[in-house]
Amino acid sequence: MTRKNRRLMFGALGLSALFGATALVLLALQENMMFFRSPSDLASGSVNLERAIRLGGLVEPGSVVKSDGNAEVTFRITDGQASIQVDYRGILPDLFREGQGVIVEGRMSPSGQFAADEVLAKHDENYMPKEVADALKEGGHWKGEESATQ
């Protein structure tokens, strides 16, 4: 084996190892990535419901129901075209209100409701999560100014 062939072989092995490591990193990241979806995306059925997702939209006015004895809350999230019922057990953020933008993280249950593990509310009166604003703009229900998103 000549020197040139040996260098080519080591180069090919190095590239193979680099591609293998990159593939493993991307595979690990894909399993942990959580994608943002709107209620319309879930209603269309184009979403893999077995994975954890972020669901964003506006809390539908009049839909928040809190249980008396425990910290269970149900509410609906809408993007103007579709709405999804969300079940959450825990303490809601202080800024959680009807008609405000929220993002919930969790999974769809077999009964068709979204079981949230975490609820994220906007942090000031001028902020709307970019994903929620984009979903509302696509649905034609955006009422805020372009400068409201960050």
Q: Label residue 127 left, alpha or beta by phi (over 0 means left) and psi (-120 to 50 means alpha).
A: beta
Helix (H) or strand (E) holding 86: strand 83-89
- Give the tokens for residue 79: 């993007």
Binding residues for heme: 123, 127
Query: Long-range contacts of range 122-127, CB-CB < 8 Å, 24 or more positions apart?
Result: 122/95, 123/95
Binding positions are 123, 127
Tokens of 87: 């079940």
What sign does the dihedral 64-38-24-15 (CA atoms) show?
negative
